[in-house]
């Protein structure tokens, strides 16, 4: 009897829990069948929501809802005008940008040329510490805005012509400038964004005012969500959904679980651990589209043992790219045999030629003839999930070249870069590149030109630098591409890096949305998505 | 009693500054290149580097630099300013947003522990060597053997996705219902420990002289177990739970990640990953206060449970 009483006390909480469970299961459908409900898209916590300070995908996804770009890219990744009426230049040095009339900011302000000039000047001014300020470095007067106490407040290359027209003068002619304008950094800012000329109003970032198809609904709720709703006065192409809730996730696996149970509509990146089951879990709601990223193994060419191109080519030949992308990446990436990604105009297949074809026998003979090192180290950052493919690559090199090979994990990519800058011996190291704008130049200039911002391998070829400069000054885009391709051929001869894989967007969506497209910048196309 | 609490509070001030110094020193020593860590694999422009270096005094290095930065930090702390994280957000704002949900989660976990752990522990002790006792032994060993990193995704998959009893994730402003599953997962580990502790303690006390006396005097069994034995058996359990409350709040990194709860554990993890010194020190400082307070509460509770314990 007494024991039974105690048992009752134990049973009570259990019963309450189960009872609650029964109630809960009824309510937790998500309620997403409502056609007017906002679509829910997964992002990570953005670092910033000011256009010139946003250079990661989560922030630019949110800004793509709030702003409308001057140009956007078509199926062939060529730029076409959106908020701009026309972007023209006769010499590729002085560009005239005409704006479409009728655009207003979400607070009612008319969009004028001044809004662009204010935003760009703010972005380029060094003391503002904007992440994307380097996008303006091609504009005349950029140098005067650098340093601790810059000489000027505004770019001398920006001139207003009338309310809807302004000109941009570059320091050097640059044929791809129009292509650049599609990037997040080139959005305008309303007068309301500034508390004084050149001073961003405090709190603007918490609820950015743009001129795009959606406006903010409330403030940016850090670590939780950013909500936007349709902006009715938007003159451009109207979105098909009433609003978007960008829901912030810390782990992709959590977002994946939510998509499976229709609690979330779009996950932009399927987590690696779920890739093998995604096709069965989601069926045709698991989709892939090309992305701009390129993964390479780079050589510290300043080190003697890797200074011969034959050694570098032999290592490339000893790696079976197809096998690794298939067995390790489950086809979530594609094998790469060129230095630029297939997503840009001017891409050619297999520019590295024989160095890209897997041939262990030939590789070994070539490696031994060139006197390659007996021991190879592959360095990578341990926080990015690279161990598996590095180990697989190492095993291939061991088997095919008869060398010793070890993977060396640095805690973070920053640690790897610090070692490289001090020219410490790290062996081969992995690098990834994501483009800023779809142009061949963006894959070549920063990575391989002598003063390139991400040239960590000490590669320097005057002929290459010259070809790139000629390409930028070329009269037409097609001529520029020819020069860039010639430059790429030089890389194929020298092999400062081994191209390994092109990235892909591997995304999934719930049963309640359709027409989901993820673009080259890892952003969901908000004008196309609709409720199913 | 008053003097005891006062003395403990004064000790807490010392302990607080001591821990901030140690944590600050550790973050300082382990700091590589926080600016690059923030940017990931993207190149950082010279202008951006100069801006952040100046804003966060990142150029102050060495022992002198350490004390300069620590004193600057303490100065802000005394004025109630926890500083800014490397992404420019006020750390006090981050903490204000993160704490409520973590506290809720920890309390649910603690409630689960007490409700199931202590009750089942008492039951197992009364029916020692019975089916229930053996069953709980196997179950608790199982739970103790599975790390949270396995248990949490499994619970999420089976109870959230496969059979949608609970929502798979909780989010930033979760309902009690959404927090229940993560709370159970988080509490399961301490539940197992609490169960074993209670069982041992109750078993021991059931054989004590005072229980025999009580029985001889004709007291009903319910009263013997419910009042006399339980009260005497709870001291080790309460000690454990006091420490555990702090653990539940700081140790929820995995659970908060899996169930997408933007609480303290996640922010701590993010701070460590991005080498965000001020953020980590800010969170740890508050955690230290939580530990100290819960330990003080436990010490005071001893006197309630056992009147023989005096503080002087």
Interval A454-478 mean pLDDT: 90
Which residue do the tokens 């199982």 mark?
A: B142
CA-wise closest residue to A148 among A129, A120, A121, A171: A129
CA-wise closest residue to B46 among A365, A49, A67, A137: A137
> Does A415 sit within 8 Å of B33, measured CB to CB?
yes
Give Cα A363 to chain centroid, integer Å. Answer: 34
Contact (Cβ atoms closer than 8 angstroms) between residue A267 and residue A508: yes
For B1-37, how does the pLDDT look when each residue is reduced to its tens digit (9 = 90+)? 788 888 888 888 888 888 888 888 888 887 777 777 7
Verify that B132 and B259 share a domain, yes or no.
yes
Verify that B167 and B280 share a domain, yes or no.
yes
Report which secondary-structure segment, H or E, holds A421: helix A413-421
Which residue do the tokens 């630019």 mark?
A: A60
Q: Kindly identify which residue of chain B lies nearest to residue A142, measuring between CA atoms.
A: B47
Report which secondary-structure segment, H or E, holds A407: strand A404-410
Verify that B150 and B239 share a domain, yes or no.
yes
Q: Quick check: is B85 in a domain?
A: no
> Which CATH number do you get for residue B161?
1.10.3720.10
Report the residue from A9, A225, A417 with minimal CB separation from B172: A225
Distance, CA of A494 to CA of A492 (rounded, Å): 6
Q: For residue B312, what pLDDT is reported? A: 61
Two tokens, residue B209? 């002289």
pLDDT at B290 over 50: yes
Distance, CA of A330 to CA of A320 (rounded, Å): 15
Q: For residue A410, what pLDDT is reported? A: 86
% of chain A beyond a pLDDT of 90: 61
DSSP state of A100: P
CA-wise closest residue to B180 among B192, B193, B166, B194: B166
Cβ contacts below 8 Å, chain A against chain B, sum to 156
Verify that B27 and B160 share a domain, yes or no.
no
Report which secondary-structure segment, H or E, holds A375: strand A375-381
Q: Does A421 touch chain B (CB under 8 A)?
A: no
Q: Does A412 touch chain B (CB under 8 A)?
A: yes
pLDDT at A4 over 70: no
Interval B289-306 mean pLDDT: 84
Q: Kindly identify which residue of chain B lies nearest to residue A415, measuring between CA atoms.
A: B32
Two tokens, residue A71? 């140009």
| End residue of a domain, out of B52, B78, B104 | B78
**CB contact set of B67 (below 8 Å; sequence gap of 6+):** none
Q: Quick check: is B88 in a domain?
A: no
A residues 135..154 contacting B (CB < 8 A): 146, 148
Two tokens, residue A309? 């191109």
Give the residue ranges of DSSP H helices in A43-199.
57-66, 113-124, 177-180
Distance, CA of A210 to CA of A66 (rounded, Å): 5
For A370-379, how does the pLDDT look when each residue is reduced to its tens digit (9 = 90+)? 888 999 999 9
- As a residue count, chain A comes to 532
Contact list in A for residue B181 (CB cut-off 8 A) is none
Contact (Cβ atoms closer than 8 angstroms) between residue B198 and residue B125: yes
DSSP output for A463-495: HHHHHHHHHHH-SSHHHHHHHHHHHHHHHHHH-
For B85-103, how does the pLDDT look when each residue is reduced to its tens digit (9 = 90+)? 877 788 888 888 888 889 8
pLDDT at A463 over 90: yes
Best probe of the B interface among A15, A20, A46, A129, by most B CBs < 10 A, is: A129
**Between residues A29 and B124, which one has the greater pLDDT?**
B124
For A490-522, how does the pLDDT look when each residue is reduced to its tens digit (9 = 90+)? 999 999 999 999 999 999 999 999 999 998 888
Give the residue ranges of DSSP H helices in chain B.
2-30, 34-39, 46-55, 62-78, 91-112, 119-126, 131-145, 148-156, 176-206, 209-216, 221-223, 230-250, 253-258, 264-273, 277-305
Contact list in A for residue B260 (CB cut-off 8 A) is 249-251, 254-255, 258
Instruction: Reduce the secondary structure of A215-278 to three states and give it as a string.
Output: EECCCCECCCEEEEEECCCCCCCCCCCCEEEEEECCCHHHHHHHHHCCCCCEECCCCHHHHHHH
For A312-321, how does the pLDDT look when each residue is reduced to its tens digit (9 = 90+)? 999 999 999 9
Interval B41-59 mean pLDDT: 77
Q: For residue A240, what pLDDT is reported? A: 93
Verify that B15 and B112 share a domain, yes or no.
no
% of chain A beyond a pLDDT of 70: 94
Verify that B136 and B165 share a domain, yes or no.
yes
Distance, CA of B98 to CA of A489 (rounded, Å): 53
Distance, CA of B137 to CA of A127 (rounded, Å): 64
**Among A31-45, B38-52, B81-95, B246-260, which stretch is predicted with the lowest mean pLDDT?**
B38-52
Contact (Cβ atoms closer than 8 angstroms) between residue A99 and residue A85: yes
Q: Quick check: is B87 in a domain?
A: no
Give the residue ranges of DSSP H helices in A67-176.
113-124
CA-wise closest residue to B266 among B172, B184, B178, B188: B172
Two tokens, residue B97? 């947003």
Verify that B234 and B210 share a domain, yes or no.
yes
Distance, CA of A423 to CA of A302 (rounded, Å): 8
Q: For residue A425, what pLDDT is reported? A: 82
CA torsion, ordered B292, B293, B299, B301, to nearest 10 deg: -160
> Does B225 sit within 8 Å of A131, measured CB to CB?
no
Best probe of the A interface among B34, B48, B132, B252, by most A CBs < 10 A, is: B48
Instruction: Reduce the secondary structure of A309-336 to three states and give it as a string.
Output: HHHHHHHHHCCCHHHHHHHCCCCCCEEC
Model confidence at A28, pLDDT cuts 50, 70, 90, reads very low
Q: Quick check: is B185 in a domain?
A: yes
Q: Quick check: is B300 in a domain?
A: yes
For A72-112, how does the pLDDT look when each residue is reduced to its tens digit (9 = 90+)? 998 888 899 999 999 999 989 999 999 999 999 999 999 99
Q: Specify the number of domains making up chain B.
A: 2
Verify that B211 and B109 share a domain, yes or no.
yes
pLDDT at A31 over 60: no
Give chain A's radius of gyration (CA, Å). Answer: 26
> Does B123 sit within 8 Å of A5, measured CB to CB?
no
Burial of A7 (0-12, 13-18, 19+ CB in 10 A): middle
Model confidence at A33, pLDDT cuts 50, 70, 90, reads low
| End residue of a domain, out of B25, B43, B78 | B78
Distance, CA of B153 to CA of B167 (rounded, Å): 13
For residue A321, the SS3 value is helix
Best probe of the A interface among B94, B260, B266, B267, by most A CBs < 10 A, is: B260
pLDDT at B219 over 80: yes
Two tokens, residue B308? 């023989």
Verify that B66 and B102 share a domain, yes or no.
no
Interval B100-109 mean pLDDT: 90
**CB contact set of B254 (below 8 Å; sequence gap of 6+):** B148, B149, B152, B265
Distance, CA of B256 to CA of A254 (rounded, Å): 10
Give chain B's radius of gyration (CA, Å). Answer: 24
The residues pairing with A245 across neighbouring beta strands, listed in sequence order, are: A40, A227
Model confidence at A229, pLDDT cuts 50, 70, 90, reads very high
Answering whether pTM is above 0.80, one says: yes
Q: Quick check: is B84 in a domain?
A: no
Q: E strands, A74-196, where?
A: 79-81, 84-88, 94-99, 158-162, 165-169, 194-196
Give Cα A452 to chain centroid, integer Å. Answer: 19
Measured at the alpha carbon of residue B87, what is the angle toward residues B81 and B89, in degrees to the nearest 5? 35
| CA atoms within 13 Å, Cβ hemisphere of B62 | 1
The residue segments making up the domain with residue B224 are 94-305
> Does B52 sit within 8 Å of A383, measured CB to CB?
no
| End residue of a domain, out of B78, B106, B132 | B78
For A348-383, how does the pLDDT look when each residue is reduced to its tens digit (9 = 90+)? 999 998 888 899 999 999 999 988 899 999 999 887
Distance, CA of A278 to CA of A531 (rounded, Å): 22
Distance, CA of B90 to CA of A77 (rounded, Å): 40
Verify that B115 and B233 share a domain, yes or no.
yes
Angle of helix B264-273 relative to helix B230-250, nearest 10 degrees, comes to 40
Q: For residue A20, what pLDDT is reported? A: 42
Verify that B69 and B101 share a domain, yes or no.
no
Verify that B139 and B37 share a domain, yes or no.
no
> Does B173 sit within 8 Å of A224, measured CB to CB?
yes
Which residue do the tokens 């709370």 mark?
A: B183
The residues pairing with A297 across neighbouring beta strands, listed in sequence order, are: A430, A498
| CA atoms within 13 Å, Cβ hemisphere of B139 | 16
| CA atoms within 13 Å, Cβ hemisphere of A8 | 5
Q: For residue A424, what pLDDT is reported? A: 83
Model confidence at B64, pLDDT cuts 50, 70, 90, reads confident
Two tokens, residue B82? 């926890």
Q: Quick check: is B89 in a domain?
A: no
Average pLDDT, chain A: 88
| ipTM associated with this complex | 0.82
Report which secondary-structure segment, H or E, holds A200: strand A199-200
For B241-261, how does the pLDDT look when each residue is reduced to its tens digit (9 = 90+)? 888 888 887 767 888 888 989
**CB contact set of B266 (below 8 Å; sequence gap of 6+):** A223, A250, B98, B253, B256, B257
Best mean pLDDT range from A64-73, A197-206, A275-284: A64-73
Distance, CA of A256 to CA of A450 (rounded, Å): 43
Report which secondary-structure segment, H or E, holds A389: helix A387-401
Contact list in B for residue A417 (CB cut-off 8 A) is 33, 36
Best probe of the B interface among A56, A125, A250, by most B CBs < 10 A, is: A250
Contact (Cβ atoms closer than 8 angstroms) between residue A292 and residue A438: yes
Report which secondary-structure segment, H or E, holds A428: strand A428-433
Q: Quick check: is B259 in a domain?
A: yes
Q: For residue A354, what pLDDT is reported? A: 87
Distance, CA of A266 to CA of A285 (rounded, Å): 10
């Amino acid at each position: 009897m007494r024991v039974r009483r105690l048992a009752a006390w134990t049973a009570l909480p259990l019963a309450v829990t189960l009872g609650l469970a029964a109630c809960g299961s009824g309510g937790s459908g998500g309620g997403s069948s409502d056609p007017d409900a906002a679509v829910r898209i997964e992002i990570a916590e953005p670092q910033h929501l000011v256009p010139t300070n946003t250079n990661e995908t989560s922030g630019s996804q949110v800004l793509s809802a709030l702003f409308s770009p001057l140009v956007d890219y078509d199926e062939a990744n060529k730029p076409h005008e959106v908020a701009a009426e026309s972007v023209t230049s006769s010499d590729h040095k002085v560009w005239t940008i005409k704006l479409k009339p009728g655009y207003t900011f979400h607070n009612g302000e008319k969009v004028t040329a001044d809004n662009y000039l204010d935003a760009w000047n703010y972005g380029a001014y060094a003391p503002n510490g904007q992440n994307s300020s380097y996008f303006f470095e091609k504009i005349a007067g950029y140098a005067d805005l650098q340093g601790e106490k810059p000489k000027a407040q505004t770019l001398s290359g920006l001139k207003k012509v009338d309310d809807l027209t302004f000109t941009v003068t570059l320091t050097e002619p640059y044929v791809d400038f129009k292509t650049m304008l599609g990037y997040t950094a080139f959005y305008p800012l309303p007068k309301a964004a500034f508390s004084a000329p050149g001073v961003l109003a405090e709190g603007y970032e918490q609820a950015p005012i743009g001129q795009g198809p959606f406006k903010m609904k409330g403030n940016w709720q850090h670590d939780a969500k950013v909500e936007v709703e349709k902006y009715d006065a938007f003159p451009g192409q109207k979105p098909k959904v009433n609003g978007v809730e960008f829901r912030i996730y810390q782990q992709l696996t959590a977002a994946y679980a939510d998509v499976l149970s229709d609690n979330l509509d779009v996950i932009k990146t399927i987590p690696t651990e779920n890739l093998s089951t995604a096709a069965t879990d989601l069926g045709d709601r698991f989709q892939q589209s090309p992305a701009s990223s390129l993964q390479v193994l780079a050589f510290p060419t300043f080190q003697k043992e890797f200074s011969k191109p034959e050694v570098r080519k032999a290592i490339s030949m000893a790696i079976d790219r197809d096998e690794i992308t298939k067995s390790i990446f489950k086809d979530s990436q594609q094998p790469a045999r060129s230095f630029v990604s297939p997503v840009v105009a001017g891409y050619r297949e297999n520019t590295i030629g024989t160095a890209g074809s897997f041939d262990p026998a030939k590789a070994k003979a070539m490696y031994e003839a060139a006197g390659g090192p007996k021991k190879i180290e592959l360095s990578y950052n341990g926080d990015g999930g690279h161990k598996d493919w590095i180990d697989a690559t190492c095993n291939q090199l061991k088997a095919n070249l008869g060398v010793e090979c070890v993977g060396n994990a640095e805690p973070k990519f920053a640690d790897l870069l610090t070692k490289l800058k001090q020219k410490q011996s790290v062996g081969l190291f992995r690098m990834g590149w994501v483009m800023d704008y779809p142009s061949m130049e963006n894959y070549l200039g920063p990575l391989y030109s002598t003063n390139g911002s991400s040239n960590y391998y000490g590669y320097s070829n005057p002929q290459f630098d010259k070809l790139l400069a000629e390409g930028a000054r070329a009269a037409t885009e097609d001529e520029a591409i020819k020069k860039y391709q010639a430059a790429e051929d030089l890389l194929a001869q020298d092999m400062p890096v081994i191209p390994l894989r092109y990235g892909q967007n591997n995304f999934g969506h719930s049963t309640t949305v359709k027409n989901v497209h993820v673009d080259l910048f890892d952003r969901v196309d908000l004008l196309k998505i609709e409720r199913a | 009693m008053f003097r005891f609490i006062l003395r403990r509070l004064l000790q807490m001030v010392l302990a607080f500054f001591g821990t901030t110094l140690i944590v600050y020193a550790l973050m300082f020593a382990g700091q590589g290149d926080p600016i690059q860590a923030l940017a990931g694999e993207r190149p950082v422009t010279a202008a951006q580097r100069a801006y952040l270096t100046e804003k966060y005094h990142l150029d102050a290095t060495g022992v002198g630099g350490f004390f300069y930065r620590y004193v600057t930090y303490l100065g802000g702390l005394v004025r109630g300013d926890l500083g800014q994280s490397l992404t420019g957000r006020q750390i006090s704002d981050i903490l204000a947003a993160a704490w409520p949900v973590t506290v809720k989660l920890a309390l649910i976990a603690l409630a689960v522990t007490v409700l199931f752990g202590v009750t089942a522990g008492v039951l197992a002790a009364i029916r020692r060597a019975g089916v229930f006792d053996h069953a709980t032994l196997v179950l608790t060993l199982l739970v103790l053997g599975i790390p949270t990193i396995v248990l949490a995704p499994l619970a999420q998959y089976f109870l959230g996705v496969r059979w949608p009893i609970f929502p798979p994730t909780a989010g930033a402003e979760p309902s009690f219902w959404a927090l229940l599953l993560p709370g159970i997962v988080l509490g399961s580990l301490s539940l197992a420990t609490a169960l074993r502790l209670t069982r041992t303690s109750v078993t021991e006390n059931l054989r004590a002289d005072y229980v025999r006396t009580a029985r001889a005097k004709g007291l009903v069994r319910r009263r013997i177990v419910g009042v006399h034995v339980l009260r005497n058996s709870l001291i080790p359990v309460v000690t454990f739970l006091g420490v555990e409350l702090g653990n539940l709040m700081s140790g929820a990194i995995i659970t908060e990640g899996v169930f997408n709860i933007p609480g303290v554990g996640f922010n701590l993890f993010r701070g460590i990953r991005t080498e965000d010194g001020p953020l980590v020190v800010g969170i740890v400082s508050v955690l230290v206060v939580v530990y100290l307070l819960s330990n003080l509460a436990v010490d005071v509770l001893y006197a309630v449970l056992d009147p023989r314990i005096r503080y002087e």
